[in-house]
Structure 1
């Protein structure tokens, strides 16, 4: 579990830090946990951990199974989570990171979600170049011909790829993938490397780099991308551009509760 839990925060009191880390540790367990296992995880004495557990239990953050004596998260966490859920919608959570990505790359940035089987643009942040894109929130993108779409085909519901593969694949440009087998190979490549591109596939002379965003359950809930002219985002993009997009997607995912 040491790779899942954050390290102690600099400046935090050791007592508060340990209590918070115990709550986080319990939240990621598959079921109630023994006092000994908790103490071992943090290299603390059973007496110290027990004292924290009693305090947390008194406030409803932890509960003890009466039959086994094991500890689990309390109902208070669920209550607080539900109370705060509305503050963590995807666009609101992602916006500061998307702006930073725009500033870092100079390119326009988009975030999309799957709505009724279609990849839909939720927000577009214009870039710092002379080119502006007319894509508006609510615009639907082709699953087979966009970098966003390929992310959803690679990491979204399995039935999505089956449906697209069996339907006609219209050509938006001469470079649009219209062959199901070619699309399958492209999606497999996206799945392997964790990001996608679509040079000239939607608009000639334009390319996009997209990456997946996950929620606390590891579900794909959004895709983000930079989009720009191929002179700025070549068909074989620079490592720095890819790392910027993928890194941003990971930070947004972590903000949504995802653990890598």
Structure 2
């Protein structure tokens, strides 16, 4: 495999042979993240045995991307807020997908349907995990797939249990007509979300794909904030409208167990 070199390392940086400029930037982030106080440029350069000019160029680039912050009064450097945002996003995705895996497997075994776990990331509804069911239908959805918020059971759950900002964001742009029964009006969607909040679950028969339905429920953390959603997905002949009471019960129970493992208490 061909290795792409990003450029020659300056001798003044005193870095090991073959170390790229990207490597130094990543080590700077790692180092600043482990310090308990902001550091001067001279302190950082001394730690890495590099010239202040070399370290400064890297810090400026990292600062431009929000990964490093420079205090306006002291000129000292510390980790940027972007690192916190990235860490929280990754941690939350990892927790929900990993902790919910066993419960999702049990849900799939109990219903025979495909099971998906989703999370909202930067206004996008993303599939974190997918377990195929025992039916002849296999869905093309894969982890990392983005789902429509206004026309999916997962999306309705997030609209029901997130702040009003998400609803405003969704209705502020054209809502695509994915199937004949897709909800595309703001008031109709508002009514649907109120119903979801009242009963605690959401379905979307023939709304995203004709002859396909999903039954979803919210996953909460210890702050009682929604951090995920779990659903069974299948043909409408297996998940009817409305879903069977047994299906509703098992999906809600699965969501509750995952939530409890994340510290949520049903009080």
Question: Structure 1 length as normaliser, TM-score?
Answer: 0.66
Q: Aligned residue for 2:99?
A: 93
Kindly state the Cα deviation for residue 234 of structure 1 after the two structures are TM-superposed. Answer: 0.6
Q: Secondary structure at the match of 1:159?
A: helix
Q: Aligned residue for 2:208?
A: 202
Matching of residue 120 in structure 1 with residue 130 in structure 2 = no
Structure 1, unpaired ranges of 5+: 1-84
- Take 1:258 and 1:249, find their aligned partners in 2: how far apart are those partners? 11
Kindly state the Cα deviation for residue 256 of structure 1 after the two structures are TM-superposed. Answer: 0.4
RMSD: 1.5
Q: Aligned residue for 1:51?
A: none
- Take 2:164 and 2:185, find their aligned partners in 1: how far apart are those partners? 19
Choose which of 182, 186, 194 in structure 2 pairs with 1:180: 186
- Take 2:126 and 2:176, find their aligned partners in 1: how far apart are those partners? 18
* Matched positions, count: 176
Kindly state the Cα deviation for residue 166 of structure 1 after the two structures are TM-superposed. Answer: 2.1
The higher radius of gyration belongs to: 2
Q: Aligned residue for 1:63?
A: none
Q: Aligned residue for 2:69?
A: none
- Take 1:222 and 1:108, find their aligned partners in 2: how far apart are those partners? 17
- Take 2:126 and 2:233, find their aligned partners in 1: how far apart are those partners? 15
Q: How does 1:71-90 map to 2 (within 5 A)?
A: 89-90=95-96
Q: Aligned residue for 2:255?
A: 249
- Take 2:148 and 2:214, find their aligned partners in 1: how far apart are those partners? 13
- Take 1:91 and 1:157, find their aligned partners in 2: how far apart are those partners? 22
Q: Aligned residue for 1:169?
A: 175
Kindly state the Cα deviation for residue 190 of structure 1 after the two structures are TM-superposed. Answer: 0.2
Q: Aligned residue for 1:213?
A: 219
Structure 2, unpaired ranges of 5+: 1-90
- Take 1:170 and 1:114, find their aligned partners in 2: how far apart are those partners? 19
Q: Aligned residue for 1:232?
A: 238
